[in-house]
């Protein structure tokens, strides 16, 4: 970096510093500026990383590491986002006063970002309603519809690492409380850009005239969610374990369990209350190795029937069942296994309903389509993300393999790990009533609908260019085989036909009927590969997946 470039970078950083209302990030940035100005190359590189780009606002809203700079999550960036979103809402309101609901979880700065947003929304002339305290993301998604709001904002980074935070946006009205999709994301991003280019946060009007919602909104969510699967008599004898993964799920979950009539679980005390440090897990994501070890230990101690785990904002659900064939005696079910169990439950209930459909993301198990057809229901396959799944016409149930489930679309138009937990408890109680277990229900799925197996290969990278390089290589020279199995067809969804899901996704159908899908993660620095197979028996399906995993790893090693 030459002298002129360093001078320009320093000027940009100093302009940011002048408008930053946060003493912590001001001090952080001032120190870096001082070191960079004295010729410290490491500080200059740090400054470049913080200001070389702007944290992009897209259909997932904002998400990134906390810290000073335009490429970090901080009060300046969040305030610009709130002001830009307010301008977007005014522009589409037709002259009426838009209403926006704001929620937040237990991560660092979540409440501060929510308060900044509420003050800026109110200052911009919107009706702003702040949820009463830190709450799960599904409560915010519910509140958008409950209040008939035009929009909602949830401050959360879900299951991201501890130093991240995020800003998730929902739209009401015709969007029915779903997350934003294109072109709304680009329109909001343009409004935010205009605010950022003005460069003076102090000039943005703020007001303390926002409302704080009462407990009735939480009560209403609890009542609606308890109705998903009221406890039968057999539920009383269930023994189960619950962990909130240091997140915000437990208080709301406990209220709903009581309302629905389920016994309280044995809880993982070390992970029960919100803690933004997430001290017992490397990543606060139930899918990550080791994240559920404390829950497994509790399950062994209590000889539990099942384990349920929410991620930190409680929009995802993990389920584990006893299994003596695996080390430790507990097996976490895959997202597809849970998704198909809940899908069959929903299909049985909706059979005969005109226009009723099941939906899942294109990387989820093709088994859901088979279930839908078996029960005479429609089926939609969408791009990844509940912003797409929740918009499927006639949806009565939707899921994606990353532990996301939508079991009550008339209440919440987003994945909801709490209502999904109630539905799973309902299945467990039903199985107990019949002298069976969730494992028996899974086996029955294979007998009725066919044996499906899934796997995943994830490559986490420090350099995002590696992902682009692999995707380009696969597009330029598509593989003819994955492992020993020939590729029958290759599809690039960037070139999808009109009306079909399109995106940065490569899909391969293999000669044995199995399927491999490759895509960059939308929220993490990962390349993700999804594997699916169907076979006459579970053992054969698992064998196909094992061979595919080896073949995919060899392919990625070759192309990286």
Which residue intervals of 480-537 are DSSP H helices?
Answer: none
Predicted TM-score (pTM) of the model is 0.94
pLDDT digits (tens, 9 = 90+) for 303-345: 999 999 999 999 999 999 999 999 899 999 999 999 999 999 9
* Cα-based distances in Å from 179 to 59, 133, 320: 7, 21, 29
Residue 67 predicted with pLDDT over 80 = yes
Least confident among 165-169, 297-301, 359-363, 491-495: 491-495
pLDDT score at 60: 82
pLDDT in tens, 487-523: 999 999 988 777 677 789 999 999 999 999 999 987 6
Average pLDDT, the chain: 95
Q: How many residues does the chain have?
A: 560
- Which pLDDT belongs to residue 500? 72
Torsion sign over Cα 349, 351, 355, 357:
positive
Go through the domains of the chain in sequence order and give each one's CATH number: 1-52 (no CATH), 57-214 (3.40.120.10), 227-449 (3.40.120.10), 451-559 (3.30.310.50)
Q: What is the pLDDT of residue 72?
A: 97
- 536 close to 451: Cβ distance less than 8 angstroms: yes
Angle at which helices 3-19 and 23-37 cross, to 10°:
160
- Give me the pLDDT at residue 463, please: 85
What are the backbone angles phi and psi of residue 330, rounded to the nearest 5°? Answer: -130, 140
Q: Answer for the pair 368, 342: CB distance below 8 angstroms, yes or no.
A: no
| Residue 78, SS3 per DSSP | helix
Q: Band of the pLDDT at 231, cuts 50, 70, 90?
A: very high
Would you give the DSSP letter of residue 58?
B
| Model confidence pLDDT, tens digit, residues 114-144 | 999 999 999 999 999 999 999 999 999 999 9
Kindly state the helix (H) or strand (E) to which residue 247 belongs, with its residue range. none
CA dist 256 to 100, 260, 269, 315, 551, Å? 26, 6, 19, 15, 45
- Tell me the pLDDT band of 170, cut-offs 50, 70 and 90: very high
**Other residues' Cβ atoms within 10 Å of the Cβ of residue 236:** 12
Q: In 407-437, which ranges are continuous DSSP H helix?
A: 417-433
Q: Are 300 and 268 in contact (CB under 8 A)?
A: no
H helix runs in 351-505, sequence order = 367-374, 386-389, 417-433, 438-449, 465-476
What's the CA gap between 295 and 320, in Å, rounded?
9
pLDDT tens digits for 86-102?
Answer: 999 999 998 899 999 99
Residues taking part in catalysis: 158
Q: Is the pLDDT of residue 464 over 90?
A: no
* Over residues 240-255, mean pLDDT: 98
Indicate whether 412 pLDDT > 80.
yes
pLDDT band, very low/low/confident/very high, at 418 (cuts 50, 70, 90):
very high
Q: 3-state DSSP helix/strand/coil percent for the chain, to nearest 5? A: 45, 20, 35
Q: Are residues 314 and 404 in contact, defined by beta-carbon separation less than 8 angstroms?
A: no
């Amino acid at each position: 970096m030459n002298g002129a470039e360093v001078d320009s970078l320093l000027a940009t950083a100093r302009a940011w510093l002048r408008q930053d209302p946060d003493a912590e990030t001001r001090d952080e940035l001032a120190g870096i500026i001082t070191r960079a100005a004295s010729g410290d190359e490491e500080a200059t590189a740090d400054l470049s990383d913080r200001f070389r780009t702007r944290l992009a606002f897209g259909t997932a809203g904002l998400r990134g590491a906390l810290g000073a700079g335009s490429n970090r999550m901080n009060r300046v960036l969040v305030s610009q986002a709130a002001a830009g979103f307010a301008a977007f809402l005014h522009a589409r309101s037709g002259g009426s006063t838009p209403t926006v609901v704001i929620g937040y979880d237990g991560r660092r700065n979540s409440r501060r970002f929510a308060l900044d947003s509420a003050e800026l929304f109110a200052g911009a002339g919107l009706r702003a309603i702040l949820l009463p305290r830190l709450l799960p993301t599904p409560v915010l998604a519910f509140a958008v519809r409950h209040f008939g709001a035009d929009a909602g904002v949830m401050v959360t980074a879900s299951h991201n690492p501890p130093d991240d935070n995020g800003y998730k946006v929902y739209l009401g009205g015709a969007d029915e409380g779903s997350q934003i999709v294109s072109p709304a994301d680009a329109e909001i991003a343009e409004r935010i850009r205009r605010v950022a280019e003005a460069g003076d946060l102090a000039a943005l009007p703020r007001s303390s005239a926002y409302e704080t919602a009462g407990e009735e909104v939480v009560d209403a969510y609890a009542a609606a969610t308890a109705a998903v699967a009221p406890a039968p008599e057999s539920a009383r004898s269930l023994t189960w374990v619950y962990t909130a993964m240091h997140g915000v799920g437990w208080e709301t979950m406990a209220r709903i369990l009581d309302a629905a009539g389920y016994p309280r679980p044995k809880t993982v005390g070390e992970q029960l209350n919100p803690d933004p440090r997430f001290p017992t897990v490397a990543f606060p994501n139930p899918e990550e190795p080791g994240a559920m070890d404390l829950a497994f230990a509790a399950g062994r101690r209590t000889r539990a029937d099942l384990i349920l785990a929410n991620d930190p904002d409680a929009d995802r659900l993990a389920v584990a069942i006893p299994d003596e064939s695996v080390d430790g005696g507990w097996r976490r079910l895959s997202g597809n296994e849970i998704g198909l169990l809940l899908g069959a439950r929903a299909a049985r209930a909706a059979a005969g309903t005109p226009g009723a459909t099941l939906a899942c993301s294109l990387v989820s198990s093709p088994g859901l389509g088979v279930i839908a057809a078996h029960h005479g229901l429609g089926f939609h396959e969408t791009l990844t993300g509940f912003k797409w799944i929740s918009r499927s016409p006639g949806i009565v149930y939707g899921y994606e393999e990353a532990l996301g489930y939508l079991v009550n679309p008339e209440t919440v138009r987003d994945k909801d790990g709490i209502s999904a937990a109630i539905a799973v408890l309902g299945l467990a109680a039903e199985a107990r009533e019949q002298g069976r277990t969730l494992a028996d229900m899974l086996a029955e799925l294979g007998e009725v609908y066919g044996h499906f197996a899934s796997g995943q290969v994830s490559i986490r990278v420090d350099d995002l260019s590696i992902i682009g390089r692999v995707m380009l290589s696969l597009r330029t020279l598509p593989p003819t085989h994955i492992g020993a199995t020939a590729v029958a067809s290759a599809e690039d969804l960037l070139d999808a036909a009109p009306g079909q899901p399109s995106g940065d996704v490569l899909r391969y159908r293999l000669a044995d009927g199995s399927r491999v899908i490759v895509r960059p993660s939308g929220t993490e620095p990962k390349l993700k590969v999804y594997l699916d197979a169907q076979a006459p028996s579970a053992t054969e399906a698992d064998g196909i997946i094992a061979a595919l995993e080896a073949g995919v790893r060899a392919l990625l090693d070759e192309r990286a």
